[in-house]
Amino acid sequence: MSTNNLKWGSRVGLVLAMAGNAVGLGNFLRFPVQAIQNGGGAFIIPYLVCFLLMGVPLLFIEWATGRYGGQFGHHTTPLAFNRMSKFPIWKYVGVFGIFSNIAIASYYCYIESWSMSYVYHSVIGTFSGMDQHSVASFFDNYLNVFTSTTGIPFEAIVFFVLCIVLNTWVLSRGLSGGVEKVAKVGMPLLILFGIFLVIKAIFLKAGVDGAINDGTVGLNFLWTPQYSSLNNPKVWLAAAGQIFFTLSLGQGCVQCYAAYVKKKDDIALNAMSAGWMNEFVEVILGSAIIIPIAIGYLGIDKVIELTAHGGLGLGFRTMPFLFQQWGPILAAIAGAAFFGLLFFAGITSSLAMGTPVMSFLMDEFQWRRSRAATAFGAIVLIIGLPTVIFFQKGVFDEYDYWGGTVSLVLFAMLESILFAWVFGMKKAWPEITRGSDIKVNIIFKYIIKFVTPVILIVVFFSSLIRPANDDWSTLSFKGWKLHKESIIAQIRQENIGPNKEYFAAQFYSENDGIVDTIYSDERNNYIQITTNENSSKTYEFDKENLIVVKKGDLVKTGDEISTGKFVNNVFYIDMSRLLLVSLFGFICVLVFIAYRKRKKEGTI
């Protein structure tokens, strides 16, 4: 007998929780950066086309799959998929719907904890009087768990644990008493903070408060349509990827939330409302905050350079400095609004990641709600701590790549095939339209059957074999150079560089350049090697290791720069992969046990 008696309090609460699930840090940090990196205005057209051809159909697929599974008491994807097909393999495909949530929550709660900490620092005026370099260094110090910016020892870990405890407590209150209440407070506040920042950004004036451009320069850059770029596959793939991540598709959260909707209640209108609300936050608020402010103070070229490694750097290393230009009081308000907005965006998403894990334990193992929530918190803490402690060793990026990127695309591709072709549109279409409060256009039936799976197959296979520099003309039967972020290159670890051994007595430079700076603090020695004015790399070594280069030396990739005892990043990367694979295997075993148990009880 299942202990799962979770229920939504109200329809508005469900829609806001689902929108909160979709609205995440990516709406404010990933979307603008994708737009910048894909030619500004060029990006919006493919983005909207992908929303209609992939985003909306996948929303329908996931809502319908969830509600279908819920009818049989399966609130998570493994056994819901098992109901949709006789082939036993599908329940293990459904494992992704639990695995991804744990893997993502493990590093996502860490980013959430940065936002929490930055609200605190903005309010107490920590950034007041800091120059741009000091604000950037503050972030780097924060990431180092052994340094403290507040006097609290192991501050990064403390905020991380605080964040997990908060998530666990809200989850233990259930859907109507916890998740829904946070969404009902968080979403309106997020929109309010967003509108405040958009107004400030748009009305930036060149020459006032140190701005070099009007706020509209950034908007102009973002919105000038460049029709020629529609021929560029890179822009289309980036747009498809963004739609995918922004709607939290391929994760198992949408299915889980929708599983608590009764068989004859509407899902189509709910899906459209939550989906468009996410687009409102992303396109209207997300595009009009960091780009106009950053371009207003730093110019287009500098912002393109700063966003080369993603939006997190721009958000946490640069924005607090830019807010300082508005004076101490407005800076504190803007900082609290911006990081508060990121925090609410984060927590509404991480709660959605916890719900499938809890639901699985309650459905299949009859765990009480509070026990299931605590189990989720404990798992995230165990799996997440390596991302906090070994952030700079590449663990965070590994989790993000395998758990938060590849798994989602693979899962969505397979679920669209399951829904449209295995379960079949004859049964699938009524699952979408039953009880609907809007008329779902019949064209979506054909899009779901033919277009969406093809787009997802293309997205997955192009991620697999992505060529270097995104130059698709280099593809040939003789082979081609892979992009370092392609799945095959990642599996082969082509981006590891010259330090390929787990444990070594020598450390080799990973970039060409000139030894710019050598310095020490009480714990470490540092070497900064600069390739050119826009690119440098800082290496950190324990004090007992000997530095064998001196300032001004020219070094090439592979040249020895230090001797002693080294544990290279490849070790941490392989260990995090092992941890993720073990987690996936562990969930597979749990699903197998749950399936056998249900078979014995005759409930499957």
Partner 1 sequence: MNRSALIFMLATEGIITALTVYFFIKVLTTKPKLDPDEDSYENNDTKK
The CA distance from 481 to 466, in Å, is: 9
| Contacting residue, 49, 123, 269, 300, with partner 1 by CB under 8 A | 269
Nearer to partner 1, 25 or 191 (CB): 191
Task: Print the binding letters for residues 284-313 with partner 1: x by CB under 8 A, - otherwise.
Answer: x-----------------------------
The CA distance from 182 to 208, in Å, is: 38
Closest approach of partner 1 to the CB of residue 213, in Å: 12
Q: Is 52 in the site for partner 1 (CB under 8 A)?
A: no
176-181 — which CB contacts under 8 Å span 24+ positions? Answer: 176/7, 176/8, 176/9, 176/10, 176/13, 177/9, 178/351, 179/17, 179/351, 179/352, 179/355, 180/8, 180/9, 180/10, 180/13, 180/14, 180/16, 180/17
The CA distance from 195 to 560, in Å, is: 52
User: Which residues are CB-contacts of 314 (< 8 A; sequence separation ≥ 6)?
Assistant: 29, 33, 290, 294, 303, 306, 307
Task: Print the binding letters for residues 198-217 with partner 1: x by CB under 8 A, - otherwise.
Answer: ------------------x-
DSSP code at position 467: B
Check if the beta carbon of residue 368 is closer than 8 Å to that of residue 273. no
Pick the stretch among 221-229, 358-366, 474-482, 586-594 that binds partner 1 (CB under 8 A): 221-229
Q: Is 328 in the site for partner 1 (CB under 8 A)?
A: no
Give how far Cα 127 sits from Cα of 196, 316, 327, 539, Å: 20, 11, 11, 26
Closest approach of partner 1 to the CB of residue 277, in Å: 6
| Contacting residue, 90, 96, 99, 260, with partner 1 by CB under 8 A | 260
| Contacting residue, 87, 203, 276, 446, with partner 1 by CB under 8 A | 276
Tokens of 470: 């995104």
- Using CB atoms within 10 Å of the CB of residue 490, give its burial: 0 to 12 exposed, 13 to 18 middle, 19+ buried: buried
User: 3-class secondary structure for 93-152?
Assistant: HCCHHHHHHHHHHHHHHHHHHHHHHHHHHHHHCCCCCCCHHHHHHHHHHHHCCCCCCCCC
| Contacting residue, 3, 9, 72, 526, with partner 1 by CB under 8 A | 9
Q: Is 65 in the site for partner 1 (CB under 8 A)?
A: no
Check if the beta carbon of residue 426 is closer than 8 Å to that of residue 448. no
Q: What length is written for the chain?
A: 604
Size, binding site for partner 1 by CB under 8 A: 39
Q: Is 44 in the site for partner 1 (CB under 8 A)?
A: yes
Q: Bridge-partner residues for 539, per DSSP?
A: 527
Handedness of CA 143, 315, 297, 224 (dihedral sign): positive
Q: Is 71 in the site for partner 1 (CB under 8 A)?
A: no
Q: Is 550 in the site for partner 1 (CB under 8 A)?
A: no
Closest approach of partner 1 to the CB of residue 12, in Å: 6
Neighbour order of strands in the sheet with 546-547: 503-508, 560-567, 546-547
Q: Is 603 in the site for partner 1 (CB under 8 A)?
A: no
Q: Is 270 in the site for partner 1 (CB under 8 A)?
A: yes
Nearer to partner 1, 56 or 145 (CB): 56
Q: Is 272 in the site for partner 1 (CB under 8 A)?
A: yes
The CA distance from 587 to 2, in Å, is: 19
Check if the beta carbon of residue 338 is closer than 8 Å to that of residue 127. no
Task: Print the binding letters for residues 433-452 with partner 1: x by CB under 8 A, - otherwise.
Answer: --x-xx--------------
How many angstroms from the chain centroid is the CA of residue 30? 8
Q: Is 488 in the site for partner 1 (CB under 8 A)?
A: no
Nearer to partner 1, 93 or 268 (CB): 268
Tokens of 555: 């070094």
Check if the beta carbon of residue 250 is closer than 8 Å to that of residue 75. no
User: Which residues are CB-contacts of 188 (< 8 A; sequence separation ≥ 6)?
Assistant: none
Q: Is 219 in the site for partner 1 (CB under 8 A)?
A: yes
| Contacting residue, 265, 510, 512, 560, with partner 1 by CB under 8 A | 265
Pick the stretch among 40-48, 335-343, 446-454, 540-548 that binds partner 1 (CB under 8 A): 40-48
Pick the stretch among 256-264, 494-502, 526-534, 590-598 that binds partner 1 (CB under 8 A): 256-264
Q: Please tell me whether residue 552 adopts helix, strand or coil conformation.
A: coil
Pick the stretch among 238-246, 279-287, 449-457, 589-597 that binds partner 1 (CB under 8 A): 279-287
Nearer to partner 1, 15 or 105 (CB): 15
Closest approach of partner 1 to the CB of residue 19, in Å: 9
Task: Print the binding letters for residues 148-187 with partner 1: x by CB under 8 A, - otherwise.
Answer: ----------------------------x-----------
Pairing label, strands 546-547, 535-542: unpaired
Q: Is 283 in the site for partner 1 (CB under 8 A)?
A: yes
Q: Is 280 in the site for partner 1 (CB under 8 A)?
A: yes
- Please give the residue ranges that form the binding site for partner 1 (CB under 8 A): 7-15, 41, 44, 48, 176, 216, 219-220, 222-225, 260-262, 264-266, 269-270, 272-273, 276-277, 279-280, 283-284, 435, 437-438
